[in-house]
Amino acid sequence: NAGVMQNPRHLVRRRGQEARLRCSPVKGHSHVYWYRQLPEEGLKFMVYLQKENIIDESGMPKERFSAEFPKEGPSILRIQQVVRGDSAAYFCASSPGSGQPQHFGDGTRLSIL
């Protein structure tokens, strides 16, 4: 069984561009979590999705950030009009159900020029 797959591993964008981060959960997992890790910090929760539904987006910035987990395909974290402060590592985790152990991907390192 493949683990959580995130791509790209590294993403470079210029200020004002859009960033799209993808996460394919473990096969059979229908719950996805996104976390952000700023330099020298711990991971901070952003959003929790279950197929086609957002369960908790309390950690998501109100503007420019959105997330989806469609019925088919990977979960996408989208950042519009990126700014320097968006530079961070973005981790995705998946679980088979709410409250079940979360399996992490290797993260996407986003750099903003």
Partner 1 sequence: AQTVTQSQPEMSVQEAETVTLSCTYDTSESDYYLFWYKQPPSRQMILVIRQEAYKQQNATENRFSVNFQKAAKSFSLKISDSQLGDAAMYFCAYRSASTGANSKLTFGKGITLSVRP
Locus of tokens 């981060």: 21
Does 91 interact with partner 1 (rule: CB under 8 A)?
A: yes
Say if residues 93 and 41 touch (Cβ distance below 8 Å).
Answer: no
| Total residues in contact with partner 1, by rule CB under 8 A | 26
| 104 contributes a contact to partner 1 by CB under 8 A | yes
Q: Among residues 55 and 83, whose Cβ is nearest to partner 1?
A: 55
Conformation bin of residue 9: beta by default, left when phi > 0, alpha when psi is -120 to 50: alpha
Strand intervals (E) in 2-104: 5-7, 10-13, 19-24, 31-37, 43-50, 53-56, 65-68, 75-79, 88-95, 103-104
Please state, in angstroms and rounded to a whole number, the distance separating the CA atoms of residues 7 and 75. Answer: 11
- Residue (20 or 103) nearer to partner 1, CB: 103
Residue selected from 26, 35, 49, 112 as contacting partner 1 according to rule CB under 8 A: 35
Binding map of partner 1 across residues 45-64, x = CB under 8 A, - = no contact: x--x------xx-xx-----
Question: Would you say 15 or 38 has its CB closer to partner 1?
Answer: 38
Binding site for partner 1 (CB under 8 A): 31, 33, 35, 41-45, 48, 55-56, 58-59, 89, 91, 93, 95, 97-99, 101-102, 104, 106-107, 109
